[in-house]
Chain A
Amino acid sequence: MSQLKIIGKPISRDDAWAKAKGELKYADDFSLPGMLYGKVLHSKYPAAKIISINTEKAKQFSGVRAVLTAGDVPHNETVTRFGQSSEVGKGFEGLYRVLADKKVRFMGEAIALLAADTEEIAEEAINLIEVEYEPLPGVFDPVEAMQPGAYLVGEVDSNIIAQFGCAQGDIERGFKEADIIIEDTYKVPFVDHAYLETESGIAWIDENSVINIRVGSQVIEHFRDVADVLGLPHNRVRYRGTMMGGGFGGKEDITVETYLALLTWKTKKPVRLVYSREESILCHSKRHPFIMHYKVGAKKDGKLVALEAELISDAGAYPYLSPWVNLYATVNAAGPYCIPHIKVNTYCVLTNNTFTSANRGFGAPQPNMAYESIMDELAHQLSINPLEIRRINCLTTGKALSTTGQTFKTYVALPEVAEKAWEALGNPTRIKDKYKKVGQGLAIGLMSYGRMTFLHDSSRCYVRLESDGSILIRSGIPDLGGGQVSILCQIVAEELGVPMSKINIYYSDTALTPLAGTTTATRQTYMSGNAALKAAREIKKRLIYKAAQMMNVHTDNLDIGEEKIIVKYKPSQYLPLIEAIKACNADGIELFCEAQFNGPFTMTPDLSNIRGMIFPDFTFGAQAVEIAVDIETGEVEVLKLVTCYDVGKAINPLSVEGQMEGGSIYGLGYALMEEVIIKDGVTLTPSFSEYIIPTSADVPEAKAILVESGGGLGPYGAKGIGEPACSIIAPAILNAIYNAVGVRIKSLPATPEKIIRTLKGQFN
């Protein structure tokens, strides 16, 4: 391969200048003449029967243009879908209900929609809608909700909505062979995405009677779901996706789009709807809390022999992506370790809590926290160092994942990444403060990138070379801030030998850009990157074919770079790109291409014992931290934080580092401070002064170490990094706390109070 010129260089992102200048328009940075303001009425109770809804007063209120309740929604109940191409069956398609009808399932559930002339009127009038409730007992603990006879959250006879299993070997024999067994229960809480841009958008009906929705969404394929709700043909709903002010999985489900579409459809006017921070925390999805019971057996020399795990997750009030998240958790449950005897069972249970769904890491951070704590405990009890125990047990190239048996044909960067991360910490820092103790901790992990293979995932991209040598790209790709859009520009620039500045890209429009699939599952660099590569290479082939004729040189001897078609063995001989373009145009050779890239396809697995290939590939990484614990206050200061991943190939190292640094701080919040406290269905932390995320003063300057094995399935050998980067920092921090003060925190977040309680027992 010729030398890469743009790929692999730390370049400025395509979208960065517009953001630096404040020119970029997010979903809500837009208005239209005659626009109305939408508002949602949310349930006051987590579980209740709706006896009656009286909208008369609200409707009479001056300036109110529409009030809608469940009865006004053409198809109030559909199923949750996420842009997959294949039929995946009932296990994964849950109920999607637009407005609560007869019964409410969680506090914050939408009951009615309203549109009015001004925001103030909307705010005032929404409170005039009278809802008569009959509170029901509800159930708020997933373990309780699993029991026979428990309060039923939904309308079917069980709260358990998904159940998965994995097994290999003989678990009983495994534990008999073990010299040491560690058994414990771990818990993780509800977590908010806390993107700074809340859920928001604007909708209008255009001259073709198409409902246009301007919104930040990770899954613009939801246009189909919105059309289904309205009973419209799919081509009558158009998403015009904007750059998002953060997504992290929270804009993967439908947020406000259905409400916007309904209100604009009803009023025939443009409508704007913006969630307040409180609504965002109260009403939209959260990361799943899990209760994880683990039993792990090992030999004296540290070799793992058996792992049994039972994971129970709280799906909240509606399924959304819960079954999928649980499948990920199941596959991740044994971590990146070779263990001959395995038994994993997971249960996903409805409760009357706020619904849970995708959140960066998608079911990986939870079991990672548990198994990496156990690995650390094993190391401690067997007096083996934390790096060594991982070296002894981790997966290597050619080995198979213990849970599913999927084998790794490409390079498995374990234990390389673990060694690098651990070494980078260096010797423990000496601190003079007599109340502070320093500790170091390590965690390793794997995480898939690309969607589950039985979803038959694909992505498309369109590239067109203009007659002046500039390039236009169209891709349905949503950008949640990770630089997804810019990566495509970079790939096309590389392949067609033009500078980034000559590329213009249109993205995230379901009518005009080819659908590129969801910005989820860390899949865009891999999937859409490959689609862009394929389209660009096709055009390149045509250019070179023409140039070869013109230059009388064999195509094999030509390459493109710096807007020239160059003779490889004699770079001084070249044809300006523009000349080749002219010639192609004159000959009617197409200088545009829409390409589709397909991931590997498999059948839907047996969900009670998942075996074989479920994911295209995995990313491997390690995170190591050094912390200081104040032994009297319990405060933890993270002094050093190192993230090392095999990213395959860093297409833009700045973006990759950004994902690794940002991801690790996202994980730091999970470890030390973040929790959406929901008590009996009521959220007690509905603002940023109660839901605490790290500020710059709370974090170390994270260090990112990139390993580039070139072994990924993405363009140029890239792997995905967005989600993996946040998924093992929590156990690394917990292990460091143990190393510092000898207490093992088994539930997140590790607050000062929790640490002190564990250290001292009761207070006094």
Chain B
Amino acid sequence: MEEYKIEMKINGERLVATTQADESLLKFLRRNGFFEVKCGCEKGECGTCTVILQGKAVKSCITLALQANNKEVWTIRGMEKFELGRKLQESFVQYGAIQCGFCTPGMILVAKAYLDKNPIPDRKEIKREIAGNLCRCTGYKKIIDAIYAVAEENKKMN
């Protein structure tokens, strides 16, 4: 099996490794110890594997590892480096938006990428924006609460 050298910046740090042509970014990341990227379906249908690639949320199970070559990837472990990331984490904890937590990394990353673009969404917009991330535990209400609280804070600061 042919191996390809690949390089990316993950959570701000350079990673050089090898991959195969058909390896998904999800498998690649987990294989390299980024266990915080979760695998719920491997078909793009649950959102647990979401990462931020070049500023955009993508589902890493339907992205080739090689498509992230020379690019910047952020996982939940990198969110502490951003004020918005920390705020979202704090808010998820505070509002009870985390039950089993399996959807949480994906949810926070999607929220981060979205609030970066649109810092003051209303609840309906938030609800629409997280529709690619399943959560079986919370019924979504508290997740929306948590993201909305950060949006409200953004509003006050503007």
A contact set with B: CB distance below 8 Å: 10, 12-13, 15-26, 28-30, 120, 193-198, 243-248, 274, 276-277, 480-483, 654-655, 657-658, 661-666, 687-689, 693, 695-697, 699, 701-702
> Judging by beta carbons under 8 Å apart, are A658 and B77 in contact?
no
Minimum CB–CB distance from B84 to chain A (whole Å) comes to 14
Is B55's beta carbon under 8 Å from chain A? no
Q: Which of B100, B105, B131 contacts A244 (CB 8 A)?
A: B100
> Judging by beta carbons under 8 Å apart, are B45 and A661 in contact?
no
Given contacts A194-B134, A482-B137, 17 further A-B pairs with CB under 8 A are A22-B36, A23-B77, A28-B39, A29-B35, A196-B48, A196-B136, A197-B40, A655-B96, A658-B99, A666-B139, A687-B45, A688-B41, A689-B45, A696-B140, A699-B139, A699-B140, A701-B144
What are 9 A-B pairs with beta-carbon distances under 8 A?
A22-B76, A22-B105, A26-B38, A481-B100, A658-B137, A662-B136, A688-B40, A688-B43, A701-B141
Q: Is chain B's interface secondary structure helix, strand, loop, or mixed overall?
A: loop
Question: What 9 A-B pairs are tightest by C-beta distance, nearest first?
Answer: A481-B100, A19-B101, A22-B36, A245-B102, A665-B139, A22-B76, A654-B96, A29-B35, A688-B45
Minimum CB–CB distance from B12 to chain A (whole Å) comes to 15
Interface string of B15-49 (1 = CB under 8 A from A): 00000000000000000000110111111011010
Q: Which of A28, A276, A658 contacts B142 (CB 8 A)?
A: A658
* Contact A687 to B137, CB < 8 A, known contacts A12-B94, A17-B93, A246-B100: no
- A20 and B42 alpha carbons, distance in the complex (Å): 22
Residues of A close to B108: CB separation below 8 A: 20
Minimum CB–CB distance from A656 to chain B (whole Å) comes to 10
> Judging by beta carbons under 8 Å apart, are A10 and B136 in contact?
no
> Judging by beta carbons under 8 Å apart, are A196 and B92 in contact?
no
Q: Which residue of chain B has the shortest Cβ distance to A198 in the bound complex?
A: B40
> Judging by beta carbons under 8 Å apart, are A483 and B99 in contact?
yes
* Contact A696 to B46, CB < 8 A, known contacts A20-B93, A481-B101, A654-B96: no
* Contact A245 to B101, CB < 8 A, known contacts A21-B89, A22-B77, A277-B43: yes
> Judging by beta carbons under 8 Å apart, are A243 and B100 in contact?
yes
> Judging by beta carbons under 8 Å apart, are B102 and A22 in contact?
no
> Judging by beta carbons under 8 Å apart, are A658 and B138 in contact?
yes
Residues of B close to A248: CB separation below 8 A: 136
Is B9's beta carbon under 8 Å from chain A? no
* Contact A196 to B98, CB < 8 A, known contacts A16-B93, A662-B139, A701-B141: no
Query: Quick one: which of B82-130 are within 8 Å of A by CB?
Result: 89-90, 92-96, 98-105, 108, 123, 127-128, 130
* Contact A277 to B141, CB < 8 A, known contacts A12-B94, A16-B92, A243-B100: no
- A483 and B93 alpha carbons, distance in the complex (Å): 12
Residues of A close to B92: CB separation below 8 A: 16, 20
Give the residue among B46, B80, B96 with the most A Cβ atoms within 10 A: B96
Minimum CB–CB distance from A272 to chain B (whole Å) comes to 11
Q: Which of B48, B98, B133, B144 contacts A20 (CB 8 A)?
A: B98
- A689 and B43 alpha carbons, distance in the complex (Å): 9
* Contact A664 to B139, CB < 8 A, known contacts A12-B93, A244-B100, A688-B46: yes
> Judging by beta carbons under 8 Å apart, are B93 and A688 in contact?
no
- A480 and B136 alpha carbons, distance in the complex (Å): 12
Q: Is chain A's interface secondary structure helix, strand, loop, or mixed overall?
A: loop
Minimum CB–CB distance from A410 to chain B (whole Å) comes to 28
> Judging by beta carbons under 8 Å apart, are A21 and B100 in contact?
no
Q: Which residue of chain B has the shortest Cβ distance to A664 in the bound complex?
A: B139
Minimum CB–CB distance from A231 to chain B (whole Å) comes to 34
Total contacting residues, chain B, CB less than 8 A: 51
Is B60's beta carbon under 8 Å from chain A? no
- A378 and B67 alpha carbons, distance in the complex (Å): 61
Minimum CB–CB distance from A259 to chain B (whole Å) comes to 19
> Judging by beta carbons under 8 Å apart, are A687 and B41 in contact?
yes
- A178 and B95 alpha carbons, distance in the complex (Å): 51
Residues of A close to B101: CB separation below 8 A: 15-16, 18-20, 24, 243, 245, 481
Residues of A close to B75: CB separation below 8 A: 22
Residues of B close to A245: CB separation below 8 A: 38, 40, 100-102
Minimum CB–CB distance from A153 to chain B (whole Å) comes to 31
Residues of B close to A244: CB separation below 8 A: 100
- A194 and B46 alpha carbons, distance in the complex (Å): 10
Q: Which of A195, A688, A693 contacts B100 (CB 8 A)?
A: A195
- A194 and B100 alpha carbons, distance in the complex (Å): 13
- A276 and B135 alpha carbons, distance in the complex (Å): 18
Residues of A close to B142: CB separation below 8 A: 654, 657-658, 661
> Judging by beta carbons under 8 Å apart, are B45 and A13 in contact?
no
> Judging by beta carbons under 8 Å apart, are B98 and A19 in contact?
yes
* Contact A26 to B130, CB < 8 A, known contacts A658-B142, A701-B144: no
> Judging by beta carbons under 8 Å apart, are A196 and B141 in contact?
no
> Judging by beta carbons under 8 Å apart, are A657 and B96 in contact?
yes
Q: Which of A194, A482, A697 contacts B128 (CB 8 A)?
A: A697
Q: Which residue of chain A has the shortest Cβ distance to B103 in the bound complex?
A: A196
> Judging by beta carbons under 8 Å apart, are A696 and B130 in contact?
yes
Residues of B close to A657: CB separation below 8 A: 96, 142
> Judging by beta carbons under 8 Å apart, are B76 and A693 in contact?
no
> Judging by beta carbons under 8 Å apart, are A701 and B134 in contact?
no
- A276 and B143 alpha carbons, distance in the complex (Å): 26
> Judging by beta carbons under 8 Å apart, are B96 and A666 in contact?
no
Q: Which of A483, A662, A688 contacts B134 (CB 8 A)?
A: A688
> Judging by beta carbons under 8 Å apart, are A196 and B99 in contact?
no
Residues of B close to A693: CB separation below 8 A: 134, 136
> Judging by beta carbons under 8 Å apart, are A701 and B45 in contact?
no
Q: Which residue of chain B has the shortest Cβ distance to A247 in the bound complex?
A: B100
Minimum CB–CB distance from A277 to chain B (whole Å) comes to 4
* Contact A20 to B99, CB < 8 A, known contacts A689-B43, A702-B139: no
Residues of A close to B134: CB separation below 8 A: 194, 196, 688, 693, 695
> Judging by beta carbons under 8 Å apart, are A16 and B100 in contact?
no
Q: Which residue of chain B has the shortest Cβ distance to A20 in the bound complex?
A: B89
Residues of A close to B1: CB separation below 8 A: 120
Minimum CB–CB distance from A541 to chain B (whole Å) comes to 33
Minimum CB–CB distance from B95 to chain A (whole Å) comes to 8
* Contact A661 to B40, CB < 8 A, known contacts A30-B35, A483-B99, A688-B45: no
Residues of B close to A665: CB separation below 8 A: 138-140
Residues of B close to A664: CB separation below 8 A: 139
> Judging by beta carbons under 8 Å apart, are B38 and A196 in contact?
yes
Residues of A close to B79: CB separation below 8 A: 21-22
Minimum CB–CB distance from A493 to chain B (whole Å) comes to 17
Q: Which residue of chain A has the shortest Cβ distance to B41 in the bound complex?
A: A277
> Judging by beta carbons under 8 Å apart, are A21 and B43 in contact?
no
> Judging by beta carbons under 8 Å apart, are A666 and B41 in contact?
no
Minimum CB–CB distance from B73 to chain A (whole Å) comes to 13
> Judging by beta carbons under 8 Å apart, are B38 and A197 in contact?
yes
- A648 and B2 alpha carbons, distance in the complex (Å): 62
Minimum CB–CB distance from A665 to chain B (whole Å) comes to 3
Residues of A close to B144: CB separation below 8 A: 696, 701
Residues of B close to A655: CB separation below 8 A: 96
- A239 and B75 alpha carbons, distance in the complex (Å): 30
* Contact A13 to B98, CB < 8 A, known contacts A196-B46, A277-B40, A689-B43: yes
Q: Which of B95, B102, B136 contacts A26 (CB 8 A)?
A: B102
Residues of A close to B95: CB separation below 8 A: 654
- A15 and B93 alpha carbons, distance in the complex (Å): 9
Residues of B close to A661: CB separation below 8 A: 138-139, 141-142
Q: Which residue of chain A has the shortest Cβ distance to B145 in the bound complex?
A: A701
Residues of B close to A243: CB separation below 8 A: 100-101
Q: Which residue of chain B has the shortest Cβ distance to A700 in the bound complex?
A: B141
- A354 and B46 alpha carbons, distance in the complex (Å): 23
Residues of A close to B102: CB separation below 8 A: 26, 195-197, 245-246, 481
- A68 and B131 alpha carbons, distance in the complex (Å): 42
> Judging by beta carbons under 8 Å apart, are B96 and A196 in contact?
no
Minimum CB–CB distance from A160 to chain B (whole Å) comes to 33
- A549 and B76 alpha carbons, distance in the complex (Å): 52
- A195 and B43 alpha carbons, distance in the complex (Å): 15
- A196 and B142 alpha carbons, distance in the complex (Å): 18
- A693 and B41 alpha carbons, distance in the complex (Å): 13
